[in-house]
Structures are given as structure tokens and as C-alpha cells.
Amino acid sequence: MQRNSGQASIRFQLFRLVLAVSAIALAFSVIGGALLEWKLQYQQIRQSLATTARAAGMAASAAIAFHDKKAAGEALHILAAQKEIEVAAVYPLEGYRLASYGDDADLPDTIGSLSEHLPSFALWSPSTTLFIPILLDGATIGHIYLRASLHDYHRIYLEQAFLAISTNLLGLILAIGFGLRFIRHIVKPINDLAHTARQVRESKDFSLRATPPEAGAPNNEITELLDSFNAMLTEIELREQMLTNYQSSLERRVLERTEDLHSANRDLLVAKESAEAATQAKSRFLAAASHDLRQPIQAINLFNEALNRTALSNEQKSISNFLGQSIRNLGELFDALLDISKLDAGANIPRPEMISVHTLFSGIDSEFSALASAKSLRFKLHFPFNGMTLVTDGKLLQRLLRNLVGNAIKYTTQGGVMVAIRRRGDEALIQVIDTGIGIAPQHVKTIFEEYFQVGNPERDKSKGLGLGLAITKRLASLLNTKIVCRSDLGKGSVFEFRLPLAHT
Ligand SMILES: Nc1ncnc2c1ncn2[C@@H]1O[C@H](COP(=O)(O)OP(=O)(O)O)[C@@H](O)[C@H]1O
Ligand SMILES: [Mg+2]
């Protein structure tokens, strides 16, 4: 909040205080002095008037004693030396006026009526009067009356008053000047402090400092305030610095960590790539080896068949039959291994083409309908009446479907198997549905792993190899799709996936 710096400023308030104090003090001193002076001077005038009157009385005393009017008049004439004396008169004890000086027109002739001419004390009256006894050898022989003008006295008094007031005013001005200097002395550090505080607040620059008290300046609350304020700023600045340091070290640490993570990531990537390369190399090796291994196996099979056609004893015939079965199992195993190795080695590059559902299904039908009817199962193919065209690699899709349909027939003992294709937007949903033994929920995911078979812990090769679905999963990923399995244990299973439809 910004306070207005004019009227309410501490400088202005102090100035008003100094002014008020000096003015009141001077006013009282002037008035008091004036009154006292007035009183003193008035008394002085009265005293000097009394001396003059006594001198005149003395000069006239002989004339009074002899009631000599003329001599008394001459005696009073010495008063002419004092201009301020307007009127004078002497009265012997008998009470009549013996002689007078000055303008005696309004002077009474007897003492009796003189009393009303005697003064009551009045400062501003234009004249003052005096009435005192005349003594001769200690005895009163008459009275003298004097009236003196106060005109000169007033003039001198006013001159003096004027002088006094001017001196006092000068004093006042000096006092104010001194006061202002003093105020500046007090106010400057406070102003400085306020200014610095405002600057700090506005600029948030904590390195600023209020001007420190001058060397040798007296220690008071203001210097203490300045010192504390500056100390406070130092503290804040230090903390600010600490915070900045902490922040930058934090940033540095984050950067270091990020760099560590990046390099760890790079290492991981390198490790992953080399692992993938190793797997591919292994798969390529296996593919090559399987291919080479199959030729001797085929040869053994041919020799065994040839042997079987010769004349053999019953025992020899049965041995040859077992041998034939083992050779077929081995061949199947090599076929599956070869398949997986080729798929893992990336040897199969999908070549999408237009595949009509008719073509696809006639292949499936001719291959599996006999197998199904041999197990007394219904075998059904379901597809839209006007046909459908898929965009995919036909050979890979055939292999995939063959695996799924083969399993469906293999794991179904009653009911049937259906292969269905339905339109779902611009995709085809392909399903292989059976009413077979089903799969327990905990196995639904694991059946796609290599060598996993639900009901063959003894790994009897005649019950299959457990590689079919592992191959199927790879085929699906080559075709850019994913097989989803839903199953009800004891009721049947559905295996389904989606493929893009051709735009018609
Ligand atoms: N249609 C299905 N109905 C029930 N179980 C199935 C079905 N298809 C696959 N399975 C289960 O999944 C396992 C793995 O299948 P697969 O990889 O083809 O191996 P294999 O058929 O050689 O046993 C099978 O052993 C079987 O337990
Ligand atoms: Mg199988």
C-alpha cells in the first residue's frame, strides 16, 4: 500500500510540532515580557515625577510659607525643563490654590475638589497625575499637584515592543531553521529505510541495503532500526542463495539421473538387439538343421516301409509298426520345430492377396469333414450367402485355420465343430467354435505357450506336441491380428480373430 508522502509524512508532522512549540513559547515570552516592562516603566515614570514634584515643592516652600503668589509661580517654572509636565499647582494648608503652571483652565481652585482629578491607575490614559505633600523641616506646609503627559512614554514603549517582537520573530525563524535541520537529521534515515524497503519489495532484489548510519552518529532507536533491517536483508539474501543453490543442485541431479537412465536405456536396447540377433541366429541354425535332419528321417521311413513289405515274423512286423509310428512322430516334431524356427527367424514374409471365402472354405472342408464324420461330429461352415473377400496371405491363413480346426475336432467328442465368417464393419470376424471339452479359465492364456498341453503332463507324443497354438499365435501376429479364446469347461470353446475385408 502506497501512503501519500505529502501531508502525513513524518517530516511534516515533526515540522508542525517544532513550529507549534516555538510559537507558543515565544508568544508567552513576548506577552509576559511586555506586561512586565509596562509595569516597570510606569513605576519609573511615577518615581521620577515624584522627585520632580518634591524638588518643585521645595523650591516653592518659602513662597508658600509667606503666601507669596508671585514667588510661588516663579518656583513652579523650573518645571518647564520637563516637557511632559502639562499642569502643576501648589496648595497651602489653607486649601486654596496659591500658584499654577501650564494650562490651568480646568484646575479647581481648592484642594477639596481636587480629588476628582486624581488618577485611578489606567495604563492607556493619555496622562498621569500626582498629588503629594510639601515638607519643610519635617512638617507639611502644603501640597503640590502635577499632571504629566504619557505620550512619550507610550511612544517609547511601542518602539520597544516592536523591537522585542522583531527579535522574537527572528528567534522563531532561527528556531524553525534549526528545527528543520534537526528534523532532516532524524527523518533522512527513516526516509532512506522506507525507500529501500519499497525498492526491495518491488524488485525482489535482496542485495539492496538501507544507507547505514554515518560514522560517529549517536546510537539511538533509528540506528538500531537501520542495523536490524540490513541484518534482516542479509539473512534473507543468504537464504535465497541457499535456495538457489539447492535448486540448481537438484536440477543437476535430475539431469544426471536422466542421463544415467538414458545410457541404461541405450545399454538395454543394445542388449535387446543382440539378444534378438542371437535368437534369430539360433532359429536360422535350427531351421537349417531341421531341414537337414528331415532327409535321413525320410530315408529311415522308406527303409522301414521296404522292410515291412518283406517276409517278417509277427514279432518283427509289430516292431516295424512301432518303428513307423515313432518315425512319423519324429517327422511331425521336426515339421513343427521347422515351422516355429522359420517364423521366429522371420523367414516368412506375408504376401497379402484377395482371398475369397469360398476358396478358403472348400480347402478346409475337403481336409476336415471326413475326420469329423469319422468321430461322428457335425462339421459346419457358415459364411454370408453372397460370399466375401479377405485381404490377407492365403497360405498363412490356411495353416492358421488348419491348426484351430484340427484342435477343435481333436478335443471334441460329441456335438460338432463350426467355422464361421461374419462381417463386422470393414472387417471379417472368423470363429472356430466347438462343443468339446473346453479349457479351464486359468489355462486359457497358457495354451498359446510352447509345449503346453492341459491334459498331457506325461508328455505322450501320440497325444500331440503342444506346439500347434504356439505356431498359430505367430501366424496371427504375421497376419497382423490376434487370436482370442473364450471357453467353458465341459461345454466348448471359441477361438476367433479379425482380418481386413476387401473394399467392394
Ligand atoms: N479346441 C480346444 N478345446 C479344448 N482344449 C484345447 C482346444 N485347443 C487347444 N486346446 C488345449 O490347448 C493345448 C495346446 O494346444 P496345441 O498347442 O495345439 O497343442 P496340441 O494340440 O499338440 O496338444 C492342448 O493340449 C489342449 O489342452
Ligand atoms: Mg494342436
Distance, in Å, from the CA atom of 125 to the CA atom of 382, rounded to the nearest integer, reads 147
- Which residue in the block uniquely carries the three cell numbers 511632559? 84
Nearest CA among 348, 326, 503 for reference residue 428 = 503
**How many whole angstroms from 467 Cα to the centroid of ligand 1?**
9
**How many whole angstroms from 301 Cα to the centroid of ligand 2?**
23
Mean pLDDT of 287-313: 87
Distance, in Å, from the CA atom of 60 to the CA atom of 135, rounded to the nearest integer, reads 11
Distance, in Å, from the CA atom of 259 to the CA atom of 220, rounded to the nearest integer, reads 58
- pLDDT confidence of 213, banded at 50, 70, 90? confident
**How many whole angstroms from 453 Cα to the centroid of ligand 1?**
6
**Segment (H or E) for 39:** helix 10-65
**How many whole angstroms from 40 Cα to the centroid of ligand 1?**
142
**Average pLDDT over the chain, rounded to an integer:** 87
Q: What is the dihedral of CA 401, 405, 408, 414, to 10 degrees?
A: 150
pLDDT value at position 7?
A: 47
**Segment (H or E) for 53:** helix 10-65
Report the range of poorest mean pLDDT among 305-319, 434-448, 457-471: 457-471
pLDDT value at position 393?
A: 95
Residue closest via CA to ligand 1's atom 23 equals 466
Report the range of poorest mean pLDDT among 328-342, 373-387, 431-445: 328-342
**How many whole angstroms from 466 Cα to the centroid of ligand 2?**
6
Distance, in Å, from the CA atom of 90 to the CA atom of 248, rounded to the nearest integer, reads 116
Residue closest via CA to ligand 1's atom 19 equals 466
pLDDT 10s digits, 56-107:
888 888 888 888 989 888 988 888 888 888 899 999 988 888 998 988 777 8
pLDDT value at position 4?
A: 47
pLDDT value at position 119?
A: 57
Q: Starting from the CA of residue 466, give the closest ligand.
A: 1
Does the structure show a pLDDT above 50 at 221? Answer: yes
pLDDT value at position 19?
A: 84
- pLDDT confidence of 495, banded at 50, 70, 90? very high
pLDDT above 70 covers a percentage of the chain that reads 94
Query: Domain locations in the chain?
Result: 10-175, 350-500
Q: Which residue has the higher pLDDT, 41 or 446?
A: 446
Site to probe by mutation for ligand 1, drawn from 379, 461, 469 as the one with most ligand atoms within 8 Å of Cβ, is 469
Site to probe by mutation for ligand 1, drawn from 447, 458, 460, 483 as the one with most ligand atoms within 8 Å of Cβ, is 447
User: Around Cβ 199, how many Cβ atoms within 10 Å?
Assistant: 13
Using a 6 Å CB cutoff, which residues line ligand 1?
407-408, 411, 434, 436-439, 447, 452-455, 464-470, 493
Mean pLDDT of 183-187: 81
**How many whole angstroms from 89 Cα to the centroid of ligand 1?**
166
Residue closest via CA to ligand 1's atom 25 equals 453
Fold equal for 10-175 and 350-500: no
Nearest CA among 459, 119, 295, 47 for reference residue 467 = 459
Q: Taking the model in full, what pTM does it have?
A: 0.50
pLDDT 10s digits, 302-360:
999 999 999 999 999 999 999 998 888 888 888 888 888 888 878 788 999 999 999 99
pLDDT value at position 318?
A: 93
**How many whole angstroms from 367 Cα to the centroid of ligand 2?**
15
Distance, in Å, from the CA atom of 92 to the CA atom of 107, rounded to the nearest integer, reads 15
Residue closest via CA to ligand 1's atom 27 equals 454
- pLDDT confidence of 5, banded at 50, 70, 90? very low
Does the structure show a pLDDT above 80 at 431? Answer: yes
pLDDT value at position 370?
A: 94
Q: Which residue has the higher pLDDT, 119 or 455?
A: 455
DSSP string, 358-404: HHHHHHHHHHHHHHHHHTT-EEEEE--TT--EEEE-HHHHHHHHHHH
151 HSE (CA, 13 A, CB side): 7
Distance, in Å, from the CA atom of 37 to the CA atom of 158, rounded to the nearest integer, reads 11
Distance, in Å, from the CA atom of 66 to the CA atom of 58, rounded to the nearest integer, reads 14
**How many whole angstroms from 474 Cα to the centroid of ligand 1?**
16
Site to probe by mutation for ligand 1, drawn from 400, 445, 453 as the one with most ligand atoms within 8 Å of Cβ, is 453
DSSP string, 61-93: HHHHHTT-HHHHHHHHGGGGGSTTEEEEEEEET
Residue closest via CA to ligand 1's atom 13 equals 453
pLDDT value at position 128?
A: 84
203-238 burial code (b ≥16 CB/10 A, e <16) = eeebeebbeebeeeeeeeebeeebeebbeebeeeee
- pLDDT confidence of 2, banded at 50, 70, 90? very low
For the domain spanning 10-175, the CATH number is 3.30.450.20
Mean pLDDT of 353-373: 93
Does the structure show a pLDDT above 90 at 289? Answer: no
pLDDT 10s digits, 132-175:
888 888 888 998 988 888 888 888 888 888 988 898 889 888 88
At the topology level, CATH places domain 350-500 in Heat Shock Protein 90 (3.30.565)
